Amino acid sequence: MSRDSKKHICILVDCLTGGGAEKAAALLSESLYDAHYEVSIIVMKDLIDYSFKGTLYNIRMVKHSFLNFSNLKKLFCLRQIYKKINADVYLDFRVRYHTINEVLLHLFVFKIRKTVFTIHSYKVHNYLPKKRFFFHLYNKAKAIVVVSEGILEKTKTLFDFDNLIWIPNFYNKSIVNQGNNGGDFHLDSYIIAVGRLKNEVKQFDKLILAYANTIPAKMGIPLVILGEGKDYHILKRLIEDHHLESTIKLLGFKNNPYPYIKKSQFLILSSKVEGFPMVLVEALALETVVVSFNCKSGPAEIITHEKNGLLVGNQDFNALEMAIDRMYTDSELYLKCKKNTKSSVYKFSDEVVFNSWLMLINT
């Protein structure tokens, strides 16, 4: 079937780098394009790292603040692009915490009944402005998609939406091939953590200090951290102040992180809060065992304790240290978890989850 005979889908996203919502938007653009939909992507910031498919429109909005957004030329530019695209369905992956910005967009740009809003964090109000006005507005949208069951229950406690549905983020099965391809880091043995260097969310500062106390650290097994962000220099200084240069490696952002994840012994997630952490799903798809806080939300929907990884009491860093030690020293547990990795996340693959998006788009 040709693109001309299928719907035109437009994805709105802050940028295409760094975060889970941004990666989910990029992956969905590829799947929609490969399914012969016409795809447009509007990005608000000039930050593009993830691969995507479709026609890209770059608004170059640098910050989510009223002073920047009050530039009427940018608002007019967005409105013109929106009208030019004239999509059948708009999928909004942006954070939407600034009330005035969102009011302006809905008054002058967006068509609410063509819009699918998405919520990607347990901090629901990052994606759902607090004013009651937005409950009535969003309730008229085509749908509100939440990416985890935890977010679904949290959102239900806030607003009684009629159009709320759960569709988890998905991984593209091509990452298996990507995991076998490349990687410029040549360590025989290491443990890995991946995410934006934002300590108030990912808590890499606390993870570094906790990891230094573990058996693998004392055995000379380094913790490799992939990602970039505002706290890079804080983390670098922390490592230097504690003389951990041989124990902790900051490798920055990688366009293809999968070889690093696949070759690691296991992956650690130490977040304070999540939505649906795709790094856990991708690690398991690459047959890499995981150790994670049972934070809100997502990990408990991905990890079955002692089956494909270890779930640790939320924010208990002492327990996290013990779980790291256990996964490193208990070979029977490790091999059991590793055996179950790939099969445990097939339900989150593109060939399963993408059908839910197709049903939503075509109804």
247-261, pLDDT tens digit by residue? 999 999 988 899 999
Could you count the other beta carbons within 10 Å of the beta carbon of residue 213? 14
- Which positions ≥6 away from 326 have C-beta within 8 Å? 310, 333
292-342, pLDDT tens digit by residue? 999 999 999 999 999 999 999 999 999 999 999 999 999 999 999 999 999
- Which positions ≥6 away from 154 have C-beta within 8 Å? 122, 124, 296, 297
Percent of the chain clearing pLDDT 90 (strictly above): 80
Q: What are 1-4's contacts with CB under 8 Å, separation 24+?
A: 1/36, 2/36, 3/36, 3/37, 3/38, 4/38
Residue linked to tokens 């951990």: 244
Higher pLDDT, 96 or 69: 96
Alpha carbon distance 242, 232 (integer Å): 16
Residue 2 has pLDDT above 70, yes or no: no
Displacement of CA 60 from its chain's centroid (Å): 21
pTM: 0.90
pLDDT, residue 1, reads 60
Residue 62 has pLDDT above 50, yes or no: no
Alpha carbon distance 242, 264 (integer Å): 24
Residue 272 has pLDDT above 90, yes or no: yes
Confidence of residue 185 (pLDDT cuts 50, 70, 90): low
Q: How many CA atoms lie within 13 A of 27 on its CB side?
A: 23
Do the bridges between strand 38-43 and strand 55-58 make them parallel or antiparallel, or are there none, so unpaired? Answer: parallel
4-60, pLDDT tens digit by residue? 678 999 999 999 988 889 999 999 999 999 999 999 999 988 889 899 999 999 986
- Which positions ≥6 away from 54 have C-beta within 8 Å? 11, 29, 32, 33, 38, 39, 40, 41
Q: Is 263 helix (H, G, I), strand (E, B) or coil?
A: helix
147-184, pLDDT tens digit by residue? 999 999 999 999 899 999 999 999 998 888 887 876 66
